[in-house]
Amino acid sequence: MEDYLGRLKKGTLKLYALEQELTPDEAVSVRRTYVGEETGTDLSALGKYSIGIDRVVQRNCENMIGAVQVPVGVAGPIALNGGYATGSFYLPLATTEGALVASVNRGCSAITRAGGADVRILRDGMTRAPVFSTRDVDHTLRTVRWVETHMDDLRAAAEATTRHGRLLGILPVVAGTNVFLRIEYDTKDAMGMNMVTIASERVAELVERETGARLVALSGNVCTDKKPAAINTVLGRGKTVLAGVFLTDEHVQTIFKTDAATLSDVNNRKNLVGSARAGALGYNAHAANIIAAMYIACGQDPAHVVEGSSCITTVDRQEGGVYVAVTLPAVQVGTVGGGTGIDTQAACLRMLGVAGGGDPPGANSKKFAEIIGAGVLAGELSLLGALGAGHLARAHATLGRG
């Protein structure tokens, strides 16, 4: 090790090049030791991990020095009556926020006692939106018209780059001499950002060649990826998931210690009016909590919690009880690729019965999205109930969330 540390200090060996001379475990150890010495920090705790890193250092993380461990709790079982997810499930939640797992667990109990949540996928399509520059507005119009009349050519160009993806449609969005093409794809069981980026590059090359519009950037932010955006809330991105459950007055009283009228009032004034007054894009209590915890546990890109937080929670008074539903316009998940192959994350996906490719293709990612939707519903129910009963501060104090 001393030889490698010396070369790193002299600058004759780069940190990123260690794997060219050492095994992945050895390279990570040397890099961690070097960075620890350079920063005067004991980093030995980062060296304690159970994941196999041969694949990780090639596909998931550059300049790896170890792993940060996040506690994983389990909530459930939760009963689901989904289009893809049917049965009873335990939800893995990776979090350091005390009371979160307990809160979701209470929501799971309520849903299961009520006979299970109905969960459906409304639509499914991952997007990428290259931006082009035109000479004038006439050129803008001609570019858009060419795209609209050559969909077969554009679809063939895109699908030549992938065995699994399928181009679903292209939505032109214009601003003067800027033409954005929001291209939507079916990516099956992959979350699909790599897939749609490569396919969109081929589409963009064809548009540029045939129209003379200049490709400025392969992503023009109309996609919109990892940023709050009304277009995702309205049109959806990834999977749009609906989950709902009817709770009787007895369920509300015995489980949440409140009543249906109060539950509805809290949701209306907090989630709907409060969010609108704040100019929020999400109208929910804490959907991002559950989404982030499940994404981290199951090897998803946690940055996509941004789009997931656009959830809308509704509470409808009905005879004998209340119907609570969540609508998640942009759930971006996959069961193959990305972090899904890391040992610990793959174990969580297997626990849900969604690891790997589905049969038919796309079934596993849809099932996974439905389970996440149900988890969000459980979390919303529990927090609304705690607020209605005036128990929120007590839960924080009891479970260490002060």
Which residues are tagged catalytic? 97, 301, 396
CB 181 within 8 A of CB 216: no
Phi, psi for residue 44 in degrees, rounded to 5: -60, -30
Is the bond into 224 cis (omega within 30 degrees of 0)?
A: yes
Beta-carbon contacts of 4 under 8 Å, excluding residues fewer than 6 positions away, are: 13, 18, 21, 22, 30, 34
Which residue, among 211, 193, 194, 192, has the nearest Cα to 154 in the 3D structure?
A: 211
Structural contact between residues 387 and 103, judged by C-beta atoms closer than 8 angstroms: no
Question: Tokens 């939106």 belong to which residue?
Answer: 129
Task: Please name the helix (run of DSSP H) or strand (run of DSSP E) that holds residue 113, with its range, or none.
Answer: helix 100-113
- Name the strand (E) or helix (H) holding 72: strand 72-82
Shortest CA distance to 365 belongs to which of 189, 143, 171?
A: 189
User: How many helical (H) and strand (E) elements, i.e. helices and strands, does the chain have?
Assistant: 16, 10
> In 3D, which of 42, 45, 37 has the Cα closest to residue 9?
37
CB atoms within 10 A of CB 161: 16
**185 vs 126: CA distance, rounded Å:** 5
CA dist 346 and 300 (Å) reads: 11
